[in-house]
Amino acid sequence: MREMKMILACLALGAITTGCGSRDREIESAVRQHVDGQPICVTSAETSFPVSYGQREFSMPHSRLGPFVKAGLLIAAEEGGHMLQYSLSETGTESLENAGSFVRFCYAKYRFIAVSEYREPVDGRTSVSFTYDITSFSEWAMKPDAAEALPDVARTLQESQEGPRSGSVLVVKMNKGWKVEG
């Protein structure tokens, strides 16, 4: 009898351990899918291009769109002396991501490295800490003019040179595995 209890205890422990290993892999997979390859972009307030502004409106749009011109993403051309038209350059077209109500120019990607820690799930939820780095910079983003004109690009370049970064997400148990919330 004692031998039978020992065998059952070992089988139960094996099932629990296997289940935990599976959960670890599922949580890591969910975070990897969420992070890996996500684009890093700068956002324009415009919803589409080309866009034209009259002479009275020059200063506000130019202060907003001038950095994108300097970075080589947009071209500014005078139209009839009274209008200034901003249109996408070839580089801008290649980097363009239309995100609904605004335009984004993507220039790098996140690369998942590993899950560094997570707590035992409570009510099917857990916070997961992970490491990542920043890769796949577009050529335009590495030019001095882009970094000077667009501070977010400069900051991302600097962060990428500092080595792996840390992040965290909330992961939720769904019917078909784990998924990052949000």
> Any idea which residue has 């422990």 for tokens?
13
Residue-level length of the chain: 182
pLDDT of residue 6: 35
Hey, which bits of 5-124 come out as E strands?
A: 39-44, 51-54, 74-79, 83-88, 96-98, 103-118
The two structure tokens encoding residue 126: 């857990």
Q: What is the rounded average pLDDT of the residues 118-126? A: 92
pTM (two decimals): 0.79
Q: Is the pLDDT of residue 10 over 80?
A: no
Instruction: Answer whether 135's CB lies under 8 Å from 103's CB.
Output: no
Predicted confidence at residue 56, as pLDDT, reads 66
